[in-house]
């Protein structure tokens, strides 16, 4: 069957035949790098057009419909526009920090793509602490936001950055705890093993109520972590005009914008991996025939289907809910989500020890 892993293997075999092992490794690394950058750009384009179409659908209008067939080339046109725009640096800004901040945002987003399994046997780096790596690196995002806000020398930016700092640091906790719930069930941090453990069913079904609670907590927490509505206080445009990226323009702004969307993709991919089985098709226990039918759908379709479903849910949040206030936002985390996820983790641990899950 045609699949990503097959293509990757063929490329690898052809390179091994043509070059010596060192060169093969170097060329493969370059290819992987190009693939990540390409994926980064393509994801940004797709997610932007998707967001605009979803919002248009929710808001009873058509959305972009002029550039290309059904307006699908709109985000390409936007990219070109952003690239030719002047990237201003305000006079009072800290020049180095101001210019480095969007690059950090992009690097963080790119690093996060490494341990994600896009299809069966198709993963850049299956390191043994995969999930831990993701939660560590994703928390670096706040640094770029703080840098941008501080160096802009703008009070709106600073307010936005401080809000974002408080918010990301807080919500990291419940995101981490809900991830831990699944790790407790699996007993491993490696992404491939987490997916393999869902051979007999996805964790959201196998883990009973704790897994469902963890899934909901995770969704809320990652929405907050990626600064999206209803938690978009860092860039609350009706209060802070544009928050931390008020002073950014042109490509520097575009990098923040892209990084936001790629982050959304990554957190949804992690959510899909942990709770919905990643690329694993929909399997039910030992219904072997049923499982076999499900296997005919390629694993990449499963992965992207689940991920884009979660992305759609997050977009749905954004276009439906009003924004929270900063104190309500922190109350929600510290008074509700954190205790709930701690108790939930305790129950999950008990279940894992007793072997109550499927």
Asked whether position 55 contacts other proteins by CB under 8 A, the answer is yes
Minimum distance of other proteins from residue 322's CB (angstroms): 4
Asked whether position 340 contacts other proteins by CB under 8 A, the answer is no
Interface region with other proteins, contact rule CB under 8 A, candidates 5-13, 121-129, 134-142, 316-324: 316-324
CA pair distance 187, 49, nearest whole angstrom: 39
Minimum distance of other proteins from residue 227's CB (angstroms): 12
For residues 131-160, which are near other proteins according to CB under 8 A?
155-156, 159
Minimum distance of other proteins from residue 156's CB (angstroms): 7
Interface region with other proteins, contact rule CB under 8 A, candidates 125-133, 143-151, 201-209, 319-327: 319-327
Asked whether position 62 contacts other proteins by CB under 8 A, the answer is no
Bond from prior residue into 21 cis (ω within 30 degrees of 0): no
Spell out the residues 6+ positions from residue 271 whose beta carbon is closer than 8 angstroms to its own.
215, 218, 219, 222, 310
Asked whether position 336 contacts other proteins by CB under 8 A, the answer is no
254: buried, middle or exposed (CB in 10 Å: 19+, 13-18, 0-12)? Answer: buried
Smallest CA-to-CA distance from 54 within 314, 321, 324 is with 314
C-alpha angle 107-311-66 in degrees, rounded to nearest 5:
90
355: left (phi over 0), alpha (psi -120 to 50) or beta: left
CA pair distance 123, 101, nearest whole angstrom: 28
SS3 117: strand
Asked whether position 313 contacts other proteins by CB under 8 A, the answer is no
Minimum distance of other proteins from residue 163's CB (angstroms): 8
Minimum distance of other proteins from residue 325's CB (angstroms): 4
Q: Which is nearer to other proteins, 164 or 300 (CB)?
A: 164
Q: Which is nearer to other proteins, 3 or 55 (CB)?
A: 55
Bridge-based pairing state of the strands 117-119 and 122-123:
antiparallel
Minimum distance of other proteins from residue 220's CB (angstroms): 12
Smallest CA-to-CA distance from 336 within 328, 347, 326 is with 328
Asked whether position 311 contacts other proteins by CB under 8 A, the answer is no
- Looking at 20, 91, 238, 286, which residue binds other proteins (CB under 8 A)? 238
CA pair distance 188, 182, nearest whole angstrom: 9
Total residues interacting with other proteins, rule: CB under 8 A: 29
- Looking at 19, 290, 312, 319, which residue binds other proteins (CB under 8 A)? 319
CA pair distance 10, 256, nearest whole angstrom: 36
- Looking at 42, 284, 320, 339, which residue binds other proteins (CB under 8 A)? 320
**x/- site string to other proteins, residues 203 to 232, per CB under 8 A?**
--------------------------xx-x
């Amino acid at each position: 069957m045609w699949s990503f892993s097959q293509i990757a293997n063929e490329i690898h075999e052809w390179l091994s035949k043509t070059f010596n092992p060192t060169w093969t490794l170097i060329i493969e690394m370059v290819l992987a790098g190009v693939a990540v950058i390409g994926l980064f750009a393509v994801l940004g384009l797709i997610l932007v057009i998707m967001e605009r179409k979803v919002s248009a659908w929710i808001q009873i209008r058509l959305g972009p419909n002029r550039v290309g067939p059904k307006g699908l080339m709109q985000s390409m046109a936007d990219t070109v526009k952003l690239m030719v725009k002047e990237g201003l640096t305000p006079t009072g800004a800290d020049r180095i920090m101001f210019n480095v901040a969007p690059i950090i945002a992009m690097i963080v987003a790119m690093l996060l793509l490494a341990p994600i399994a896009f299809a069966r046997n198709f993963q850049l780096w299956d390191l043994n602490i995969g999930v831990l790596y993701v939660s560590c690196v994703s928390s670096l995002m706040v640094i770029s936001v703080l840098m941008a806000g501080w160096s802009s020398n703008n009070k709106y930016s600073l307010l936005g950055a401080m809000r974002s700092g408080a918010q990301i640091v807080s919500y990291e906790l419940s995101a981490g705890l809900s991830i831990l719930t699944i790790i407790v069930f699996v007993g491993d941090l490696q992404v491939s093993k987490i997916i393999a453990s869902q051979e007999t069913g996805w964790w959201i079904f196998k883990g009973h109520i704790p897994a469902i609670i963890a899934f909901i907590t995770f969704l809320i927490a990652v929405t907050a972590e990626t600064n999206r509505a209803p938690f978009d206080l860092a860039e609350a445009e009706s209060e802070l005009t544009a928050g931390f990226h008020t002073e950014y323009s042109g490509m520097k702004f575009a990098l923040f914008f892209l990084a936001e969307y790629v982050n959304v993709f990554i957190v949804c991919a992690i959510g899909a991996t942990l709770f919905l089985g990643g690329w694993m098709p929909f399997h039910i226990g030992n219904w072997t025939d049923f499982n076999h039918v499900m296997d005919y759908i390629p694993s990449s379709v499963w992965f992207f289907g689940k991920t884009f479903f979660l992305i759609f849910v997050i977009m749905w949040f954004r276009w439906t809910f009003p924004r929270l206030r900063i104190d309500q936002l922190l109350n929600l985390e510290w008074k509700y989500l954190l205790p709930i996820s701690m108790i939930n983790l305790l129950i999950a641990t008990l279940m894992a020890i007793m072997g109550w899950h499927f």
